[in-house]
Amino acid sequence: MTDGMWDITRVISVCAVSGQAAGTAAAMAVDFSRIDIKKLQKTLIDNGVVLHEDEL
């Protein structure tokens, strides 16, 4: 694998999880400034997303 391909494959999973979090947040909120972060985190965890413990 070339260095360029390694960089691409290394970030794909991060992009996918970021997209899942953004999509879930969009589905849950009408006003992003008032979103319930703890509820969003629980929903993501319930859907199999692994969150860093320091962020909870």
Q: Is residue 35 part of a domain?
A: yes
Q: Is residue 56 part of a domain?
A: no
pLDDT at residue 11 in the model: 77
Position 36 pLDDT exceeds 90: yes
Residue 37 lies in domain: 3-18+26-50
pLDDT at residue 9 in the model: 75
Position 5 pLDDT exceeds 70: yes
Position 55 pLDDT exceeds 70: no
Overall number of domains in the chain: 1
- What digits encode the pLDDT tens for the residues 8-31? 777 777 788 889 999 999 999 888
CA-CA distance, 4 to 17, in Å (whole number)?
Answer: 21
Q: How far is CA 1 from the centre of its chain?
A: 27
Which amino acid makes up residue 48?
A: G
Q: Is residue 38 part of a domain?
A: yes
CA-CA distance, 38 to 4, in Å (whole number)?
Answer: 37
More confident residue, 35 or 17: 35
